[in-house]
Structure 1
Amino acid sequence: MALPLLGYAVVTLTGATTSSLGQLRQDPATPLAHQWGTPLPIREDEWLTQTPIALETLVHGAAQAPYLSQAPDLVDQISSGGGFSSVLFFDGNLLRLGAWLPDAMLFAAYSAFPWLLLFLTLPRLLRRLGATRPMSWLGVALCFLAPATLWWSFTPIRILGFAAAGCYLLFLARDQLAARRHLVGVLLAGIGGLCLARLASFYVPWSLTIGVPLVLASGWYLVRERADRRVSLTTIGVGAVIAVAVFAGVLWENWAALHAELTTVYPGLRRVTGQPQPPFLLFGAPGLGDLEDDPFPVLNNQSEISSAFLVCGVWAAVVWSAARRAATRPQWAAVTSLAVLTVVITSWAAVSWGVVGEHVPLLNALQSIRAAQTAGYPAALMLCLVLSRLEAGTARQAGYAAVLCFAVTAYGVSDLQRTLPSLGLVQVWVSVAAVAALVWCLTRWPRRAWPVAATTALLVVAGYNANPVVFGLGDLRGSEAAHKMHAYAVAAEADGSRWVAVVPEDTALLAANGVPTVTGYQRTGPVVSRWEQLDPDHTYEEAWNRGVSYVLMAFTLPEGSPEDALAVISAPGPALISIAILPCRLAETSLGVTHVLTPYVMHSRCVREIDTLTWNGQPRYVYELVRDG
């Protein structure tokens, strides 16, 4: 326990994060942030949205949202001031201390908190479920260093960390209740329940594939224990009651945002079905070691082709029968739970479910590509529990596992060449051979530490530079442009003014420094009454009734638009909303827009240039919006 806490303290005190905020600079040639590695543009969900939102919270002491958008509490898991939200999203309260503590340290502490939970609780939880010490740490390595983790800015760990913490706290609560220390037991069960309730928020599709399997495995283990079954059921009941009560309070506080989120065209009303995904998405993860040095893939980008180690499920199947003989009923209940859910998730990404899939609750919100990318997480946890039941694998058994994993990995990694043409045959076969060798060693000596250490070292080498390490907040806070925006934010707080931006990078600069905006990131969904200021007849509702989308403005109408049109709203992409409106018409609305930040010179009688600055190496112009006449 001491090492994770020491590491967390070092990360916090140095202000270190894996953010790609270095993508946002005043002068690209001389970034202000001290960093190791290279920030990557593909992490837009992080450096264009999550990081500016977190920094905005540090400025205001509560979560904020653009004027057109609903409160982001449910999705960002940061409270905008509600009591229930502050309790459930307790780690987000770190960002509400910006008035008293350094922002860089608070941002680092908030970003690394799920890591701390994972390293403190997942190894101990796996050992409770029957894993040996070496195998418990193998599970941590396979999840924390999976390509899908590294290339999705550790989003899976934000889910898995809280799931592991919640489950482990339920085990501790059960122990306390069994020892008749009821007050401590109820307290631990309540905190555990709160951690698990968070799975119903944030990115729910991945909560289904990453967090829920571990929760069900832990719950089934507790129920199958005969000696303390009544106490276990009591523990689960207490945790569930507290979790439901608090989460219900959060929904009540955020009812408008919840309704908006569920009724958005995208993603709220979207329904999908299971569809076959390419082999590289299912079994290609071991071949992604050089992805950070590769140019953009032919298909999608590095994040979209990354996955976790589903080959672990194949591996577990080989040693399944031998492990079954040595497992207790609770242990095998946990293994079976993980196995069943791994099969279900994998089938969603491997076969077509047709129209039937669109009517399967919960799964019909899970895109099959997201299932393919994350099926390897429950598979890895299942493998660790299965290998822990082997005293020592026979050479023949280890050989069978190695050969089968060799074949499956060769199938998946060779298919990667379709999207990574630079992936040579040597790289393919080196990664395949490495998998076979590690499978053989871990199956042959499952209770020894050195095969786990070798596997972890190889994973570190393969992915160590997939993320930058940045110290501090860089140009987002330390540049001249940021200082100007901070001054404008102070003035806006005094006079109630609002800003709009034309490009996402400028929106990030505004948000990170606390400038109130009308444009920005519409995280949950729209405030309909405010959008009606631009579209009173709901002509463009299909375009603006969206979540997880950037809202930007353009000040020229599309060709063919009537000159007297109030605004023309479009959705150029699934995560983009564009509002085309003339400055004079914008000034006539009741949106309260007073300033415009643009990368180009504007010519209109309704704008007056008041300032210029440099951002991302290009000039930016600040205009004050004035009413015509």
Structure 2
Amino acid sequence: MKVKLPAPIAEASSRFKQWVCVNDRAARVITLVVFAVLILLGITTSSVGIADLRQDPSNPLGWQFGISRPIRSDEIYAYSAIVISILATHGAPSLSPLAARADLIHRFPTDGFFEQFVFFDSTMLRASGIIPESMLFAAHWWLPSLILLLALPTWFHQLGRSRRYGWFAAILIVLSPSSAWWSLMPVALIAYTLGGCVLMIAAFQRFARGQRVLPVAMGVAGGILIAGLPTFYAPWSLMLGLPVLGASTLWILLQSGAWGPRLKAILVTGGTAAVFGTGTLVENREGLQALLGTVYPGLRRVEADPQPFGRIFGAPALGQLQYSEPIGVNASELSSSFTVFFIWMLVLMLAAPWRLKFRENIAEWTFGAWSALWIVWISMDLGVSTRIIPLLNLVTPPRAAQVIGVLAVILVCLLLSRWSPPVSWRVPLLAGAACALPTGYAASLLKASDLPAISSGLIVLVSGTVGLMVAVITKYPQRSWPMIICAVFAALPVARANPMLAGLGDLRASETAKTVAAQAPAARAGGKLWAADNPGVNTLLLANGMPSLSGLQRSGPDAAAWQKLDPQSALSDKWNRGGGYIFFSWTPGQPTTIGSNDFDAVLVGIDPCTLKTAWPNLDKIVASIPLNAPCLGLDSEVQWQGRPAYIYAVS
């Protein structure tokens, strides 16, 4: 039975809904305009403008505001370098033939049918012959953030929750320190799955209205988006994406009415995801097998392990990372999201006048159960027996602790969507104090260990701000201004974490880059290879599409290729590594050595003439110092990193 509201209340409710609708449209328009401007100007927050990737560090090309961060080595030398390489080749990136296929790890297509669709974000980079490279690079950079900001409010609305809290959650995820210090990776690892789930729910709603063609198209598109769930950095992809997919699927199944629309939406979307996901895995089975068989990270299995309290709850105090280096850990490893929101969630659940019934609150139950599992994983020592738990044993507790706050943000915003304004300040003040105290304690622990540059005044300021924002939002859940102020405060700790860069820096615009780029097409066509002894030069070669033996080994090794250097595979424990790099050093007249850093780097010391014998198509090498070897002839000399780099023809 539907209760009729009194006229004044009904009118106020109607006006409120109209206000929310208008402001939501305005927010979407502003978001689209901002991203359009960033893309047209080719502006990103990439750190590829770092001095090591400049021809002359004292005279950089292009506009940049802020500091490029060396700690973002994976973004600089791998993720962005591969994207720029695709821009240069208009096809697959020019990765080392010593490495197995890396399409799954970096979401780029080579020759597979299914991956052309699943990795659509990289497929679009092949339009670089028509669209300026800087614009495509920016579009690829910002696309996950754009999808998250547009999809999460819609997802909230589809579930019967407030769009404004969808916006609030999306903004806080983008502004999380772990997003800032990991070059927006957590955003990329949840956005596409979220977009697919929004399309799946929309397909169900349109099937329920009797439509046919459009919901099928939505389901297919959603399935393609979801098919990429286990790709890129799979531990975080699964940790962040699975609860969204699970909550969305269960929500559809638990809706009332005929089963037809529900089953159609799930079967079309899920079937498409299964076909395209399986097809992509089959197309990349060699690279996947190489990754799973690597010493690191493929064979690594981890166990539950308690993480330092400061690293779990200290996100609001990490603004100091913009100005000083931590001790014993780097900025990326220290970063986290707003895990303190779990405490806020507990206060809301205990004080709520309503019960969280499973059917009406399936999203809250799904995220709550999933979060509880990961909280145990990062807070309890359960012994080595936990290494046998599937999925969890692939995610190191420090990595899980860095992004679990993303789940907390979504869960709290789902609860706040239903939270009624309290009459008194008792519950809001309790919530504020409950969040302020652990934040202050976590910041104090960071000061005592990892980040001593944090001042006592900052600890008081940060904890007080967290408490104030939590209390005010809890007291006024239907007002927008507390959330806007909170978003501004959340932006302060990460505002200077990354630079604003227009274009691709010296990697494509410098004279040295143009010299390499001019020779790259002929080298690719002739099957010729280069190699270098400098990580910065390796990236220069990759970014300009020059095939090179040195550079990246992201999924794992090509065993047959490595056996040209290690015929008996006696040193396979050194080169059987993924997620990393291949570094050469030139040692004329010396025996070949192969080593590693025990993690992701393979270090090869070799005579260039020996390398030429093993790889007859080796055409040129680049050396940091002059070399003297019978097979070498100086071809040219270029400048990189403000120093000469010597290019030798190998014969």
Q: Which amino acid aligns with 2:619?
A: T
For 2:402 and 2:188, how far apart are their aligned partners in 1? 16
Quick one: distance in 1 between partners of 2:87 and 2:623?
25
Identity of aligned residues (%): 34
Task: Tell me the amino acid that sits aligned with residue 21 of structure 1.
Answer: V
| Distance of 1:356 and 1:25 partners within structure 2 | 49
Residue 197 of structure 2 aligns with an amino acid whose one-letter code is C
For residues 494 and 385 of structure 1, the distance between their equivalents in structure 2, rounded to whole angstroms, comes to: 55
| 1:555 partnered with 2:580 | no
The answer to whether structure 1 residue 595 and structure 2 residue 625 are counterparts is no
Tell me the SS of whatever aligns to 1:521: strand
Deviation at 1:48, TM superposition (A): 1.1
| Residue of structure 1 aligned with 2:452, choices 403, 411, 421 | 421
SS of the equivalent of 2:501 reads strand
Does 1:202 pair with 2:232? yes
Q: Which residue of 2 aligns with 1:131?
A: 161
Deviation of 1:97 (Å) = 1.0
Alpha-carbon shift at residue 597 of structure 1 (Å): 0.9
The Cα shift of 1:230 comes to 4.7
What's the counterpart of residue 56 of structure 1?
85
| 1:316 aligned residue (345, 351, 358) | 345
**Corresponding residue of 1:243:** 273
**190, 194, 214: which one pairs with 1:164?**
194
Is 1:509 aligned with 2:509? no
Question: What pairs up with 1:212-227 in 2 under 5 angstroms?
Answer: 212-227=242-257
Contact 1:63/1:72 (<8 A) preserved: no
Q: Deviations over 1:559-595 (max 9, x none)?
A: xxxx884x32111241210111112211211352111
Partner of 1:533: 564
- Aligned-partner Cα distance in 2 for 1:98–1:69: 26
Take 2:525 and 2:226, find their aligned partners in 1: how far apart are those partners? 40
Structure 1 distance, partners of 2:490, 2:555, is 36
Mapping for residues 278-297 of structure 1, pairs under 5 Å: 278-294=308-324, 296-297=325-326
Which of the residues 599, 612, 622 maps onto 2:637?
A: 612
- Corresponding position of 2:31: 4
Deviation at 1:450, TM superposition (A): 0.8
Per the alignment, in what secondary structure is the counterpart of residue 319 of structure 1?
A: helix
Pair 1:387-2:416 in alignment:
yes
Ranges in structure 1 where 5+ consecutive residues have no aligned partner = 558-562
Q: Do 1:324 and 1:389's aligned partners in 2 also have CA atoms closer than 8 Å?
A: no
Counterpart amino acid of 1:364? Answer: N
Letter aligned with residue 405 of structure 2: G
Deviates more, 1:249-258 or 1:210-219: 210-219
1:11-70 Cα deviation digits (max 9, x unpaired):
221111111111111111111020111111111111111111111111222223211112
Please, which moves more after superposition, 520-529 or 133-142? 133-142
Cα shift at 1:302: 0.9
Aligned to 1:359: 388
Residue 16 (structure 1) aligned with residue 43 (structure 2) = yes
> Matched residue of 1:199: which SS?
coil
Partner of 2:649: 624
Shift of 1:326: 6.4
Distance in 2, matches of 1:323 and 1:510, equals: 59
| 2: CA distance, partners of 1:217 / 1:495 | 52
Q: Which residue of 2 aligns with 1:439?
A: 470
Query: Aligned to 1:257, which of 276, 287, 294?
Result: 287
Alignment match of 2:599 (pick from 565, 569, 574)? 574
Task: Tell me the alpha carbon deviations over residues 97-116 of structure 1, each in whole angstroms, 9 at most, x when there is no partner.
Answer: 12222111111111111111
Assess if the C-alpha contact under 8 Å between 2:322 and 2:493 holds in 1: no
For residues 395 and 591 of structure 1, the distance between their equivalents in structure 2, rounded to whole angstroms, comes to 77
Q: For 2:102 and 2:289, how far apart are their aligned partners in 1?
A: 13
2-structure distance, mates of 1:564, 1:37: 44
Q: Report SS of the residue matched to 2:369.
A: helix
Distance 2:538 2:245 in 1: 38
Give the CA deviation at 1:131.
Answer: 2.8
Q: Secondary structure at the match of 2:58?
A: coil
Distance 1:150 1:331 in 2: 34
Shift of 1:329: 4.6
Q: Distance in 2 between matches of 1:215 and 1:323?
A: 27
Report the aligned-residue RMSD: 1.6
How far has the Cα of 1:128 moved from its partner? 2.2
Distance change (3 Å), C-alpha of 1:550 and 1:505:
same
Cα distance in 2 for residues equivalent to 1:336 and 1:262? 33
Q: CA deviation at 1:425?
A: 0.6
Aligned mates of 1:162, 1:191 — CA distance in 2: 11
The residue number in structure 2 matching 1:193 is 223
Mapped to 2, the partners of 1:535 and 1:183 lie a distance apart of 57
Q: Which secondary structure does the structure 1 equivalent of 2:361 belong to?
A: helix
Give 2:402's aligned amino acid. Answer: Q
**2-side partners of 1:256 and 1:285: how far apart?**
39
**Paired residue for 2:515?**
484
**Post-superposition offset of 1:477:** 0.8
Could you tell me which amino acid in structure 1 is paired with residue 520 of structure 2?
A
Written as runs of structure 1 = structure 2, the 5 A alignment for 1:336-347 is: 336-347=365-376
Conserved? CA contact 1:610–1:622, under 8 Å: yes
Matched, 1:42 2:71: yes
Code of the residue aligned with 1:572 in structure 2: it is: N
CA distance in structure 2 between the aligned counterparts of 1:400 and 1:56, rounded to whole angstroms: 53
1:330 to partner: Cα distance: 4.0
Unaligned runs of 5+ in 2: 1-27
Structure 2 SS opposite 1:620: strand
Deviations 1:387-416 (A, max 9, x none): 111111341111211111122112211111
For residues 91 and 285 of structure 2, the distance between their equivalents in structure 1, rounded to whole angstroms, comes to 18
Match of 1:332 in 2: 361
Q: In structure 2, what is the equivalent of residue 560 of structure 1? A: none
Shift of 1:133: 3.0
| Offset of residue 324 of structure 1 | 6.7
CA distance in 1 between partners of 2:468 and 2:499 (Å): 30
Assess if the C-alpha contact under 8 Å between 1:222 and 1:330 holds in 2.
Answer: no
The residue identity in structure 1 corresponding to 2:183 is S
TM-score (norm 2): 0.92
Measured in 2, the distance between the counterparts of 1:97 and 1:355 equals: 49
Cα distance, 1:454–1:591 mapped onto 2, change above 3 Å: farther
TM-score (norm 1): 0.96
Q: Pick the aligned partner of 1:70 from 100, 104, 109.
A: 100
Count of residues paired in the alignment: 619
Q: Does 1:470 align with 2:501?
A: yes
SS in 1 for 2:198: helix
Q: For residues 67 and 324 of structure 1, do their structure 2 counterparts lie closer, same or farther at Cα, with a shift above 3 Å needed?
A: farther
The residue that corresponds to 1:448 in the other structure is 479
Provide, for residues 76-102 of structure 1, a one-character-per-residue CA deviation record: whole Å limited to 9, x for no partner.
111113211101111111211122221
Could you tell which deviates more after superposition, 153-162 or 221-230? Answer: 221-230
**Paired letter, 1:144:** V
